[in-house]
Chains A and B, each alone.
Chain A
Amino acid sequence: MSEKPIVLDPTSDDVAAVVADPTVVRATDAPAPADHGPIGTAAVAHPLVRVEDAARWFDVSPPWLERVLARRPRIDLRAVDGVSFDIARGETFALVGESGCGKSTVARMLVGLYGLTRGTILFDGQPLENMNKPGGRDIRRRLQMIFQDPYASLNPRWRVGRIIAEPLLTHTKMTPGERVARVSELLKQVGLDPADQQRYPHQFSGGQRQRISIARALAVQPDLLVCDEPTSALDVSVQAQVLNLMKDLQRSLGLTYVFISHNLAVVHHVADRVAVMYLGRIVEVAPRDALFERPRHPYTRMLLEAIPDMHGEGRARTRVAGEVPNPLNPPSGCTFHPRCPHANDRCRVEPPKSIVAGLNVVACHGVEEGRLD
């Protein structure tokens, strides 16, 4: 690990100010107070997951010696820079955004694959770091992840039976016979044949492999499934099969999903609540219908405008200008201001705080000042 003592970023003051003292919550196991601050919480009383001002920076500086000789400062890539949201039990919480906005980093933070540079993540009232302490293994069991690429996420040298049974070996004391029985049951649950245990991943199509990934994730009966672009590598008809399967499983097993995708139409289909990310921050969180019918943040509006829709032939769309800026050198103030048609001087200097606007929670000066409806 690096030698750095992490200095809190001054721009986080705004976030810290709105979130009512996160350290207090960490000390107790009791459910957090209901009116806990406006950012992304949108009235979730006893969330399964509470993320508070979580940040993850990556050190992308040149090697130490080079840096010292050239008298260059350290460079941090702020992949995620202060996000806060709650996830209620049984809901599907979607994170959307374009490449490089930090959505996959959030996914990895949620399952503990990346540590936090700042902030906290509470899973069922306990800090996520507890998973590394004695007795914390149960947290790991309850959090499982499905990855985007079903070709890279299954070991090609293992038979499917062994792949799915691996988490059982780690987390349960099942006998080999019990494990085989459980794997058969799981394979049936995801629409495959129990006899498929004997086969290797390369003998399956992309959609079938994604079913194997789902079976593996479900093996230890998790509460939360973090799905990072689970269908973007699949063809549409196969995507429909996998999305239907995920919905059925959610209903029968009471699962909570974090669903990460760049495809807004898919998110519209699966999500209960949606968070929109831009350059490492959440710009808007809202229930699905509120977000799609009445988007507030200019970036959300731009994204919705940009989707080519099957039913929108000949629709005059507003032109979307510009590209996502370099995250190593993000714009000052509101990071969206260079592309925003409504930006003014305040947007160029002051990062916006999240405010409640109807059902939406949105970080935009324009909405706050009433310049945007």
Chain B
Amino acid sequence: MSTAPLLEVRNLCVEFPSRRGTLRALNDVSFSIGAGEVLGVVGESGAGKSLTGASIIGLLEPPGRVASGEILLAGRRIDNLSDDEMRRVRGREIGAVFQDPLTSLNPLYTVGHQLAETIVTHLPMTWAQARNRAVELLASTGIPAARERIDHYPHQFSGGMRQRVVIALALAAEPKLIVADEPTTALDVSIQAQIIELLKKLCREHGASVMLITHDMGVIAETADRVAVMYAGRVVEIGPVSQVIHHPAHPYSAGLMGSIPTLDRHVQRLVQIDGSMPRLTAIPPGCAFNPRCSQRMERCTRERPELLPAGPTQAACWLHDQEVTA
């Protein structure tokens, strides 16, 4: 990636004001996605991965707000746009696929209407042209008899088919970036494989970059180029996908990978990270992972590590502090 990245997130902080003070749900998150690249974002519930996605699409639920930091899409800041301006970016430049395909579609309109509406809103086309394009899009997502199915309502589709419609909808206006938040979590394994395959194929064809948010490492391993591991509102490790999976540099990533049962090795016991992720109200000082970390040093409880180079990846861990180890 010699050119400037398509999406750049710099020091993003998201806060939720509450009665007991302000909760910082995302704390200094920085990463970038290159053109045509698939970035996986993994982490456990509450790590802030969905929140990162929502901030990029500009759909943070109030009272949550971007407190500081910048989000740049193709060099242009999009975090401070007005609602009207953001509405033009959303759909046109950033497409979104969410976990539950039923709630992403309006049950009162046919899928054709919803597709054509998106196309007409963002592209200079007439309704008739948009409808033809909608049929093409539906067909390209592998929905059989697209010309007939286009006049059906969302409830007439199965879960897997609905997710195909949502993907068609996300791609309708040829966006440069797709934010896919747990796109396969609600689906059965056999359908999940089809949807992942489809998302990969279509994004390659359309040259779109993807931010793929999921807790399923298998999906990431098969789909992503790079992966960011999140913990307690921060990116703790980011790097090439095979590196992070096979040679994780951060103790949390290592624990996470070891705790996943896989088919190709027999272990009596899974690696276990004791304890659980801290609540937002009680994030420990220093490195947020330090109370659960087996390699904790005195420094970890005082100073918060930034992302440091750790071989091919970057890890936010003092174990990789060159000045000390050198």
Chain A interfacial positions (CB closer than 8 Å to B): 98-99, 205, 207, 235-241, 243-244, 247, 262, 264-266, 268-269, 292, 302-315, 317, 319-320, 323-324
Chain A residues within 8 Å of B259, by CB: 236-237, 239-240
Chain A residues within 8 Å of B274, by CB: 241
Pair A310/B276 contact, Cβ less than 8 Å? no
A240 to B272, CA, bound (A): 6
A306 to B241, CA, bound (A): 20
Pair B270/A310 contact, Cβ less than 8 Å? no
Q: Say yes or no: A308-B222 contact (C-beta < 8 A), given A240-B271, A241-B274.
A: yes
Q: Say yes or no: A310-B245 contact (C-beta < 8 A), given A240-B271, A241-B272.
A: yes
Q: Say yes or no: A319-B276 contact (C-beta < 8 A), given A98-B189, A243-B261, A313-B242.
A: no
Pair A324/B188 contact, Cβ less than 8 Å? yes
B112-120, B212-220, B304-312, B313-321 - interface stretch: B212-220
Best-surrounded residue of A205, A303, A307, A310 (most CB of chain B within 10 A): A310
Pair A306/B193 contact, Cβ less than 8 Å? yes
The reply on B190 being an interface residue by CB < 8 A is yes
Pair A292/B241 contact, Cβ less than 8 Å? no
Top 6 A-B residue pairs of the complex, sorted by shortest distance between their CB atoms? A308-B218, A240-B259, A269-B261, A235-B44, A240-B270, A98-B188
Least Cβ distance of A303 to chain B in Å? 6
Which residue of the partner chain A has the closest CB to B255?
Answer: A237
Which residue of the partner chain B has the closest CB to A320?
Answer: B190
Chain A residues within 8 Å of B189, by CB: 98, 262, 264, 303, 306-307
B interface bracket (residues with beta carbon within 8 Å of A): 35 or more
Least Cβ distance of A158 to chain B in Å? 23
A306 to B193, CA, bound (A): 5
Which residue of the partner chain B has the closest CB to A99?
Answer: B188
The reply on B263 being an interface residue by CB < 8 A is yes
Pair B188/A309 contact, Cβ less than 8 Å? no
A240 to B258, CA, bound (A): 9
B35-53, CB < 8 A from A = 44-45
Which residue of the partner chain A has the closest CB to B260?
Answer: A236
Q: Find A269's partner among B160, B257, B267 (CB 8 Å cutoff).
A: B267
Q: Find B263's partner among A235, A264, A302, A313 (CB 8 Å cutoff).
A: A264
Chain B interfacial positions (CB closer than 8 Å to A): 44-45, 158, 160-161, 188-194, 196-197, 215-219, 221-223, 241-242, 245-246, 255-264, 267-274, 276
Which residue of the partner chain B has the closest CB to A235?
Answer: B44
Chain B residues within 8 Å of A307, by CB: 189, 193, 218, 263
Best-surrounded residue of B189, B221, B257 (most CB of chain A within 10 A): B189
Pair B190/A311 contact, Cβ less than 8 Å? no
Which residue of the partner chain B has the closest CB to A299?
Answer: B190
A2 to B162, CA, bound (A): 36
Best-surrounded residue of B188, B222, B261 (most CB of chain A within 10 A): B261
Pair A306/B192 contact, Cβ less than 8 Å? yes
Pair A236/B188 contact, Cβ less than 8 Å? no
Least Cβ distance of B37 to chain A in Å? 15
Pair B263/A292 contact, Cβ less than 8 Å? yes
Chain B residues within 8 Å of A247, by CB: 268-269
Least Cβ distance of A226 to chain B in Å? 20
Chain B residues within 8 Å of A243, by CB: 261, 270
Least Cβ distance of B185 to chain A in Å? 11
A48 to B218, CA, bound (A): 36
Least Cβ distance of B274 to chain A in Å? 7
Chain A residues within 8 Å of B161, by CB: 323
Chain B residues within 8 Å of A269, by CB: 261, 267, 270
Pair B192/A308 contact, Cβ less than 8 Å? yes
9 A-B Cβ contacts within 8 A? A266-B261, A268-B261, A269-B261, A305-B193, A310-B221, A310-B257, A323-B161, A323-B190, A324-B190
Q: Find B194's partner among A236, A237, A268, A320 (CB 8 Å cutoff).
A: A320
Chain A residues within 8 Å of B246, by CB: 311
